[in-house]
Amino acid sequence: MIVAGVILGATAVALVTTGAFLATKRNDPLTKDFREQLGGKGAGKMFALSTALLVGLYVIVSKFRQDILPILMKAYFCYVLLMMVINFLRPTLFRNIYSTSPDNHPQYLVKWMKLYAVDLVSISAALPLLLIYWFSDNWIVMNLLAALVAIFSIEITRFKTLTIASITMIAFFFYDIYFVFFTPVMITVAKKITIPVKIVWPRELDTLSIWTSYSDTAKFTLLGLGDIILPGIYIALLARIEAHLATTKNITIKPSLTRACIAAYTISIIIAMCVLYIFRKGQPVLLYIVPCLLLTTYGLMYCRYGGDVRNIMLNYVDDDEDIVPFQPGAAKENRGADGETDGHDSSREKDEVLHSPEAVQITPSDSQASENNEALDQ
């Protein structure tokens, strides 16, 4: 069980770190449709829907037939996996195939998002993954899918402000305690739901087998994705705030708030696993994660950082206006710079435009930065 706890903890830290990194680096307008900006109302809806979904699943798995539910949940999860693959592949495929704005290419409005013709490649690439998921119940395969979903969720879900993120963390702190300690809801759902919403590892080495079924929960120690995704979204916001300070204010804060919170998350996971090992009872992991993250964040802000830095962090608003603009044909032109030329004057002129400082500059100019700073201070 100790080995299981160590592996689960290391996996959680790795997923949070990876998701936070991608949420900072992959600000691409081509994937804007996938991103969910959580303001006050959005965070409230997320909390209400999470509660309703958890209770609804508990009622279904406890009181009603369970033969239809797995099929419905698998179908929904196939949709999630498909969106995940499109989100990962669209920017790279688009820039390598097209050389003009995305608005000039075939688009198909599907509910709340646009699909491009190039997305057919992503859909084709996703089909083997969907088939493996649909027909496999192997715990290793399901762990890999759960890990991908965790990274995808951290990347696309974004709190708008630190205040909203902190309040949401506190709300889920009590949510986790109530549903784990005072009701059987959380543990029952976690054990009976067989879609990839948890990372599992065999309790004992003698039960370690690559052929074990993911649904055989009695053999596993598990960690729910909620204990990875929610802290990951919070830490990703801190990483973007830190990047904002560095790019617009030329301020590098020490110690790094992002790294400090990743360390705090690691410590909280270790504490949770130790308590689990001692009491042999399921634990609300957010009980340990939330205090560690919030105490680290606000402790550093008020004890180590100056008042100006603290005010910028508290007033920071995360939105899509800071996204790097689409640069038509960037991938093709980069290959041309390495020696692939077509010999046409028009292409050379296009290269000059694309590679000029004005075309590739992704940081705001001094005047834009000052305007942004004044707006932020207001």
Tell me which residues are annotated as active site. Answer: 176, 227
Entry field: residues in the chain: 378
Strand partners, 157: 36
CA-closest candidate to residue 232, choices 279, 172, 303, 276: 172
DSSP three-state, residue 114: strand
Provide DSSP, 306-342. -HHHHHHHHH----GGGSPPP-TTHHHHHHHHTT---
Q: How many Å separate Cα 153 from the centre of its chain?
A: 3
Sign of CA dihedral 262, 263, 265, 270: positive
SS3 state at 201:
strand
C-alpha count within 13 angstroms, C-beta hemisphere, residue 168: 28
Tell me which residue has tokens 């910028």.
312
Residue 95, amino acid: R
Closest among 47, 2, 4, 15 to 266, alpha carbons compared? 15
352: Cβ contacts below 8 Å, ≥ 6 apart = none
What residue spans of 98-161 are helical by DSSP H? 119-135, 139-156
In the structure encoding, which two tokens stand for residue 60, read together?
């279904």
